[in-house]
């Protein structure tokens, strides 16, 4: 559901929503043992001449 011409902010919002909609990720997001949450979104080309773009997201947690 991510489009090539979307802003990085919109892509990050969509990725965050996907993590939030995942029961396992959401459980971690509201777990008070974690003091920080970081989201990283990386965009990569699918190869020379390809019109496809790959997006990779990571949700990183830090324990107290």
pTM: 0.60
User: Rounded CA gap, 17 and 24, in Å?
Assistant: 13
**What was the pLDDT predicted at 4?**
61
How high is the pLDDT of residue 56?
78
Secondary-structure percent of the chain, ordered helix, strand, coil, rounded to 5: 35, 35, 30
Structure confidence by residue, pLDDT tens digits, 6-42: 777 887 788 889 889 999 989 988 999 998 888 787 7
């Amino acid at each position: 559901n991510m489009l090539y011409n979307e802003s990085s902010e919109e892509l990050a919002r969509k990725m965050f929503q996907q993590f939030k909609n995942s029961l396992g990720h959401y459980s971690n997001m509201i777990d008070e043992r974690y003091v920080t949450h970081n989201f990283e979104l990386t965009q990569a080309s699918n190869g020379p001449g390809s019109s496809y773009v790959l997006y990779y997201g990571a949700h990183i947690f830090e324990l107290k």
